[in-house]
A and B are shown apart, each in its own frame.
Chain A
């Protein structure tokens, strides 16, 4: 009974959760978390933020914080609602004035609403796999970080994967792009069109109206089009509906590849057998085989400090994504401390610098225990993405299985699109872009 009651109570009742055991450390690094655990996408938020907070607790328990600086946080419930997201941000930013980790909203809409505010307040906004993707160009967006990879680079990587599957040539082939008819769904169109022009395949775009719980017409159209592959950009109920509808019209699921928002356990389990064989892109792997995930379970849950009521979520794709987001956030703080003083709490401005100078190699990932959890990342002023790689995973009916190595999208094709868009944004807003050659 009352499955999600404990974390909600914790979020509501505790104005500030100090994660350290025993005595409170002299320095504390604060994380403002405008997240969501209830509402239409509450299940996604529970896993993601559960993983995120568990890693902060893990660092406190295992290493006594970052060079002795204890990690603290406060959650504010946004319900994935833009207005509430902004309200939460405004409520938390006062507490983040002295020290602040990156802000993770897990929402493109909220991120868009905060992009100017966070720059004014000098608080770094992380948008890992969502949000405003032209913020890859850090000369225009110094405080926004679409880390690891973007919708466009992901779409490009998926096309690369399909090309390999179809024998290295896409000329004359047909790909349907089935997408949520929203800003999120439309983000990747520009990349799909560029790839279609380059690889000479036919692209058929089919939008689905929100929330996407009815797709009969779209799938009958797909049946009529007879595509080689369906690239699928869904969200929430649209994902299960698509898988069920594909089954209904007899379209093979192993010729459907989704974005990472369509590739969690929450997306496939409700579709039952209809999801078997379906593939999706991801920038982090699932499972407890990753040593860090197993160690978090041992250390954090062993100490009775775990954030999740439902331990079965540990190792799921979204839980591991939350851990990955926290790993990058903590590494940014570590990096910032190297420049601004070890053992000190870092301000948002200093953490921004850390995020912009990340260099997480496979060797470093191995040190953390996160080998292959996520790709190598190297950020800079003109590249706030830092990687552009995804893996393709396949649902075997019970778990996600990686069916590719890390695939990088076509950077030469996609990044100029970001730069052009960022340039336009700078012009509209009257922003003078930074000279990245002078940033270090």
Chain B
């Protein structure tokens, strides 16, 4: 039983890391109604900017500020050169534009900062907390707890921002209907630039946490793969949904990885395992059948 809880808690903490990436998707979707295929690439660009600037001699705090500046400028440039031309176009056009953006970032970022994998030290040790290990014989990492704290703070801030600020409300209006928002005087271009800037900040936080955990390298773009089932579960428009979805996916994939393969082996023989790559997608697919809008997503009703 102790092992079960160890796996469960480990999974929940991993889920927080997925939620960090999923948050970036949610922000863009809320503001523009488009799925940002480039979010994984933005995580990579943000983390690479931090280590790249540090290699030029800057301390961590300065590197983070400069990386944030890079991400903000990138957000503004994306709005000016990509999205502005696509106002009122079907969502698929915006989606296709973000695919192009992803390839652009994946090519440009290593060209500027180099493609070799690098370490990112944030000063948080990724080792088991001794007293938990001694008292309960469970491995809980200090790093994972810090990541959970950071994610909670980020979610709380974003939820308040969307709910209670003028810009937040404007963002939601734009997401509902571009034309209607424009007709009542909401500056669409500014709103998009802001939201891409905020998404860049979220990508920076996610990139730093994932980069410190696994190294800063091209594979950070793959973190997006972990966020997709989280979004399906949590809903594409809900910030708290990203967190809850992340927790469910993280816990279920870890438990599945441990407990399903032995059953499969008993039933069919052979060697099973490595299922956490596809298990969250199956779970998300099943969930779609029951609740297509996700746990916290807005139910879409068309009146005819």
Contacts and interface: CB of A to CB of B under 8 A. Distances in A.
Contacts of B258: 217, 220-221
Interface in B217-238: 217-219, 221-223, 226
Given A209-B278, A240-B214, A4 B121 contact: no
Contacts, number: 139
Contacts of B110: 3-4, 38, 42
Interface stretch (A270-278, A281-289, A298-306, A420-428): A270-278
Interface string B77-105: 00000000000000000000000000000
Contacts of A214: 14, 226, 276
A364 to B, nearest CB: 33
A165 interface: no
A278 B111 CA distance: 31
B257 A217 contact: yes
Interface string A195-234: 0000000000111111101101110110110000000000
B112 interface: yes
B141 interface: yes
A1 B112 contact: yes
B128 A250 contact: yes
A237 B139 contact: no
A43 B3 contact: no
B214 A237 contact: yes
Contacts of A2: 111-112
B298 interface: no
Interface in B264-279: 271, 273-278
A221 to B, nearest CB: 6
A205 to B, nearest CB: 5
Interface stretch (A86-94, A241-249, A326-334): A241-249
Interface string B113-125: 1111111010000
Interface residues of A, number: 49
Main secondary structure of the interface of B (DSSP, over half): helix
Nearest to A270: B215
B11 interface: yes
Given A210-B277, A217-B10, A270-B215, A46 B115 contact: yes
A223 B214 CA distance: 20
Given A4-B111, A43-B115, A241 B126 contact: no
A238 B295 CA distance: 32
Interface in B257-298: 257-258, 271, 273-278
A40 interface: yes
A8 interface: yes
B111 A269 contact: no
24 contacts: A1-B112, A3-B114, A4-B115, A37-B115, A39-B106, A40-B218, A40-B219, A40-B221, A205-B271, A213-B219, A213-B223, A216-B11, A216-B14, A217-B258, A237-B117, A240-B214, A241-B214, A247-B126, A248-B127, A248-B141, A269-B215, A270-B119, A271-B119, A272-B119
Given A38-B107, A189-B271, 9 more contacts: A3-B114, A39-B218, A40-B218, A43-B115, A43-B116, A207-B273, A216-B11, A220-B6, A250-B133
Interface of A: 1-5, 8, 37-43, 46, 181, 189, 205-211, 213-214, 216-218, 220-221, 223-224, 236-237, 240-241, 244, 247-250, 266-267, 269-272, 274, 310
